[in-house]
Structure 1
């Protein structure tokens, strides 16, 4: 039995990926969202500051519009994201209301990093929302307007990195990244039978980078490489991140209790 981890986190960012929110049949996974609402509401009522970074706008939009394949055309992706984001926030709103909580939508673009005024404005919004007793900020990239052309680079790239940036912005103690994998392995466990789960990673070295690879589901964009980039940013700012499976969000309680689940990225061990 592994020793308990020393996890002290008063301000927490939880990132939930599309693969956790969307079933393989393109339908939203309502039981997961309802349980996520219960867990985050409980944390908030117990005095924790909580921010949720949620993927899923395009995935939910695909389900609403009965689209089987993620669109390739950028304008089509943006339109599907617009439909999906509205549906997703309505679902979150209903789920959190069950526990007496309101949700606040924050859609951001990369200018919060590049422009001081935008950075200040989003910081002020976060601080006000976090000071409210019954409100959970839900963050996503503004997929409807973001683009990646060199002269108008407004896109973060993926919500793994966005969640790390938000963790830094709000000066959180811990980022919990809920994915469809149990943690970071020594090799791809779907291809290598004796791949082992790594309990703790203190730095992103060439060996760790070599162990990562591949992309996520047809709904999402992230793979293990994007999670490592997020972890690198977390470690740079002396914060902590845990990567674990999000199929049962109540695992968050176990993580905060110090149970050695998933992979902990931390310099301070």
Structure 2
């Protein structure tokens, strides 16, 4: 595989691992863990995962995402344990060692804790361990001037990418990439292959919210892309239904939407 990307952050959204019936998509997780284990032989790989609340809902048999903070944090606490067990079992089948890191915003905002967590991540990567990162939703809160939440995991993934100086952020979603119109409403909507900057027109096109189990949407992904581009890094949005698409991207295939200041070979922004 090309070595353009030394360090890669992969973020998978709730809609990619939880279906409409609140069941966990074990086949997607199996494929994802296999692909990341293969990539980790030639690259340094980090996984940012959503889905703790969704898995918690599945575990206790809830179909509709609650709005009360206490209920959401309780579901996250239940789901995070279950989700990590699922990842650990599937990674173990590939012979890949993983480690869990639950972050709050203040961990990366304050210098001493920032240095400590970065040292931990670098040590894990040096030893070929894949860090599995999620926000510590069970305890995160915003109160006055003490902010511990990231907002949602697209933002978390972008912050982690910049924080660890990764070369690429790949966001796996339930859509092929960014379109110039809503493809669910407009049959003429065209996939944008390359986006060099985030402007008001693109943000207007993005609109909308995530699934009933998650908090993301295309707007949150564009906010993440802006943060990535502002730090002179690169990002892609891919359809997470088949995680093999990650290898296609890294091997130079024109898949998904690619965000970078310079035009990638074979891609246009028309």
Same fold (TM over 0.5): yes
- TM bucket (normalised to shorter chain) is over 0.9
Tell me whether 1:32 sits opposite 2:28 in the alignment: yes
Following superposition, the deviation at residue 138 of structure 1 comes to 0.2
Question: Counterpart of 2:242?
Answer: 248
Tell me whether 1:85 sits opposite 2:80 in the alignment: yes
Inter-partner Cα distance in structure 2 for 1:226 and 1:150: 24
Inter-partner Cα distance in structure 2 for 1:33 and 1:150: 38
Are 1:7 and 1:257, in contact at CA under 8 Å, matched by a contact in 2? no
Question: Counterpart of 1:95?
Answer: 90
**Runs of 5+ consecutive residues of structure 1 not aligned to the other structure:** 1-5
1:189-228 to 2 correspondences below 5 Å: 189-228=183-222
Are 1:61 and 1:85, in contact at CA under 8 Å, matched by a contact in 2? yes
Inter-partner Cα distance in structure 1 for 2:28 and 2:6: 23
Q: 2:172 aligns with which of 169, 178, 183?
A: 178
Q: Once the two structures are superposed, what CA deviation does each residue of 1:191-210 show, in whole Å capped at 9, x if it has no partner?
A: 22211110000000122112
Cα RMSD (Å): 1.2
Question: Counterpart of 1:152?
Answer: 146
Following superposition, the deviation at residue 151 of structure 1 comes to 3.4
Following superposition, the deviation at residue 82 of structure 1 comes to 0.4
Inter-partner Cα distance in structure 1 for 2:126 and 2:141: 32
Following superposition, the deviation at residue 86 of structure 1 comes to 0.2
Question: Counterpart of 2:228?
Answer: 234
Which stretch shows the higher mean deviation, 204-213 or 250-259?
A: 204-213
Following superposition, the deviation at residue 113 of structure 1 comes to 3.3
Inter-partner Cα distance in structure 2 for 1:123 and 1:97: 25
Inter-partner Cα distance in structure 2 for 1:212 and 1:32: 25
Inter-partner Cα distance in structure 2 for 1:131 and 1:67: 40
Question: Counterpart of 1:3?
Answer: none
**Runs of 5+ consecutive residues of structure 2 not aligned to the other structure:** 264-270
Following superposition, the deviation at residue 152 of structure 1 comes to 2.8
**TM-score normalised per structure 2:** 0.95
Are 1:78 and 1:144, in contact at CA under 8 Å, matched by a contact in 2? yes
Q: Give the count of matched residue pairs.
A: 262
Which stretch shows the higher mean deviation, 205-214 or 10-19?
A: 205-214
Inter-partner Cα distance in structure 2 for 1:147 and 1:211: 30
Q: Which runs of 4+ in 1 moved over 6 A?
A: none
Tell me whether 1:124 sits opposite 2:119 in the alignment: yes
Following superposition, the deviation at residue 94 of structure 1 comes to 0.4
Q: Once the two structures are superposed, what CA deviation does each residue of 1:91-119 show, in whole Å capped at 9, x if it has no partner?
A: 00000001111210000001133211111
Inter-partner Cα distance in structure 2 for 1:236 and 1:112: 22
**TM-score normalised per structure 1:** 0.95
Following superposition, the deviation at residue 7 of structure 1 comes to 8.2
Are 1:7 and 1:258, in contact at CA under 8 Å, matched by a contact in 2? no
Q: Once the two structures are superposed, what CA deviation does each residue of 1:192-239 show, in whole Å capped at 9, x if it has no partner?
A: 221111000000012211211000100000011100110001101111
Which stretch shows the higher mean deviation, 224-233 or 112-121?
A: 112-121
Question: Counterpart of 1:49?
Answer: 44
